[in-house]
């Protein structure tokens, strides 16, 4: 990648926050596009406002990374094409598989949007002769900004316990956001990754119950998991959804506590040199927890 410069969508996201310093440390200059007005900060990164970006007058950018929701990417394909892009790396999610057929309408909509967006990006890339790479991470956590482990932690802090459905023995492979960011850079550069999609997951398999217990420990608390029936979950969720923080919760989330959501990442190891860490919470991973 001679004189590397990368177009970046989703720079202010959780993955984007980790990705920017990694790119700069690898000697890769960044042209970050955002809908927000951001004052230029630091060397190696230039900010562009998406509302002012004109495909007819854009930077020459051979490589692009999209860590915004992948369904945002089709809105900007004309800009990417006009920049002379050679490869586009997009972040999707294994939710495209796990939320299909969910009992919650909002979740099935998310799965459909992920699938449609992936298909559109692939079709566009093939028709333009542009290489694509799609990464689908499992449950992302880290830096206190995720919507998974951090939400569990906040619930524990607020109520002193955490409710689980049945044995809560569904298997999980939570992946740290820094490992996701590192995989994005590898996917951008690896020759064998061209025109492929990879599932990426954490380096340790554990049950949902074990995962929640580790959050208690990270908070310095004794695990208190309360087993409740599904009807009670549905009632509790209907009440909690009145609060803005829990608006996205659903009974379907509880039902998945006993479902295995494990995805093999052997292909990412082979092609990207992917080496995810085990599930461990460091101080910076709960720095923003109240």
pLDDT confidence of residue 49: 80
Q: What distance in Å separates the CA atoms of residue 203 and residue 238, rounded to the nearest whole number? A: 35
pLDDT confidence of residue 238: 75
Tens-place pLDDT, residues 194-241: 999 999 999 999 999 999 999 999 999 999 999 988 888 778 777 776
Tens-place pLDDT, residues 117-166: 999 999 999 999 999 999 999 999 999 889 889 989 988 998 999 999 88
pLDDT confidence of residue 77: 95
pTM higher than the cut 0.95:
no
Taking CA 167 as the corner, what is the angle to CA 240 and CA 250, rounded to the nearest 5 degrees?
25
- Quickly state the pLDDT bin for 4 (edges 50, 70, 90): confident
Q: Which residues pair with 136 in a beta bridge?
A: 199
Instruction: Write down all domains in the chain, each with its CATH number in brackets.
Output: 5-283 (3.40.50.720)
DSSP string, 217-262: HHTT----EEEE-HHHHHHHHHHHTTSGGGTT--HHHHHGGGS---
């Amino acid at each position: 990648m001679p004189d590397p410069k990368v177009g970046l969508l989703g720079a202010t996201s959780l993955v984007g926050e980790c990705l920017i310093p990694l790119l700069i440390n690898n000697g890769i200059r960044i042209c970050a596009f955002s809908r927000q007005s951001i004052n230029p900060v630091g060397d190696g990164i230039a900010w562009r406002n998406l509302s002012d970006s004109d495909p007819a007058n854009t930077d020459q950018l051979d490589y692009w990374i999209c860590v915004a929701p992948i369904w945002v990417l089709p809105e900007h394909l004309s800009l990417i094409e006009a920049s002379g892009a050679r490869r586009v790396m997009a972040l999707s999610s294994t939710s495209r598989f796990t939320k299909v057929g969910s009992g919650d309408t909002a979740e099935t909509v998310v799965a459909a949007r992920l699938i449609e967006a992936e298909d559109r990006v692939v079709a566009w890339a093939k028709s333009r002769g542009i290489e694509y790479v799609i990464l689908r991470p499992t449950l992302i956590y880290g830096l206190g900004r995720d919507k998974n482990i951090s939400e569990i932690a906040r619930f524990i802090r607020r109520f002193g316990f955490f409710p689980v459905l049945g044995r809560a023995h569904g298997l999980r492979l939570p992946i740290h956001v820094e490992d996701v960011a590192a995989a994005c850079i590898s996917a951008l550069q690896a020759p064998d990754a061209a025109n492929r999609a990879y599932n990426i997951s954490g380096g340790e398999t554990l049950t949902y119950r074990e995962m929640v217990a580790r959050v208690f420990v990270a908070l310095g608390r004794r695990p208190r998991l309360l087993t409740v029936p599904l009807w009670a979950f549905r009632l509790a969720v209907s009440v909690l959804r009145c609060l803005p923080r829990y608006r996205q919760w659903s009974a379907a989330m509880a039902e998945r506590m006993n479902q295995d959501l494990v995805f093999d990442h052997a292909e990412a190891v082979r092609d990207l040199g992917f080496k995810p860490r085990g599930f461990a919470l460091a101080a910076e991973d709960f720095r923003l927890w109240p």
